[in-house]
Structure formats: structure tokens, C-alpha cells
């Protein structure tokens, strides 16, 4: 896992509040990756469907902040797919590195 990844665990991808994502970007995060169970495999019934809907709106919010929409990504990765998680994280990290630092956020401590 890349050393610059800061994981934030939630019980379900539907529990990722849009405010968490916008706050991360405003605090200087260069990218945000939301990972959740595959649709139809949610332990909480329909959580990933809610996450997918919320993600579509979040893409527009990210653009309204003056950022590229590609700085936000949603991936379906089951808990048993460790190799897939590693692949997605490394690919996303490389993409964000090529995009450069977040031009709108300021790095602050929590």
C-alpha cells in the first residue's frame, strides 16, 4: 500500500458522508477513493446502491470546487479481494500523482 494513503474505515460505503469527501479536498487531499462491496453483495442490503447515487452527485460537487472529477473514484472491492484493493490503490495513487497536488485545498492537521 502506498505510504501516502490515509484509510478511513466505515461500516458500509453508504456511510461515507459527502461532507467527509468535500472536507478532505478542502483540507488538501489530492484524491479520494471510496471502496465498497460489489452491488448485490452488500451486508447492509442496499448500501452500495446508495453510495453509487451519492457518488454521482459528489462528482459534480468536486468539479464545482474547481477540481478534476477524476480526483474522486468509486470502486467495488470485496473484503476478500486484497490483491484487487492493492491494484486499485496503486493505480489511483499513480493517476493522482500525475495530476499533481490539489490546487484548492490547504494542508492542515485535524
Task: Assess contact for 72 and 32: CB atoms under 8 A.
Answer: yes
> How far from the centroid of its chain's Cα atoms is residue 60's Cα?
14
Residue 64 lies in a domain: yes
Instruction: Please tell me the total count of domains within the chain.
Output: 1
pLDDT at 108: 46
pTM given for the model: 0.88
pLDDT digits (tens, 9 = 90+) for 96-108: 999 999 987 665 4
The CA distance from 71 to 40, in Å, is 26
Give, in degrees to the nearest 5, the angle at Cα 91 between 90 and 95.
115
Q: Is residue 68 part of a domain?
A: yes
109 in any annotated domain: no
pLDDT in tens, 7-64: 899 998 989 999 999 999 988 899 999 999 998 887 888 888 899 999 999 999 999 8
73-94 pLDDT, tens digit per residue, is 999 998 889 999 999 999 999 9
CA distances from 58 to 6, 72, 76, 84, 90 (A): 20, 8, 17, 24, 22
For the beta carbon of residue 61, count every other beta carbon within 10 angstroms: 15
Indicate whether 21 belongs to any domain: yes
Amino acid at each position: 500500500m502506498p505510504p501516502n494513503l490515509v484509510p478511513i474505515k466505515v461500516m458500509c460505503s453508504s456511510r461515507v458522508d459527502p461532507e467527509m469527501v468535500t472536507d478532505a479536498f478542502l483540507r488538501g487531499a489530492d484524491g479520494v477513493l471510496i471502496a465498497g462491496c460489489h452491488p448485490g453483495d452488500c451486508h447492509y442490503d442496499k448500501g452500495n446502491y446508495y453510495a453509487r447515487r451519492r457518488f454521482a452527485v459528489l462528482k459534480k460537487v468536486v468539479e464545482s470546487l474547481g477540481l478534476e472529477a477524476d480526483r474522486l473514484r468509486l470502486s467495488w472491492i470485496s473484503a476478500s479481494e486484497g490483491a484487487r484493493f492493492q491494484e486499485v490503490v496503486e493505480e489511483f495513487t499513480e493517476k493522482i500523482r500525475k495530476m499533481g497536488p490539489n490546487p484548492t485545498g490547504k494542508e492542515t492537521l485535524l
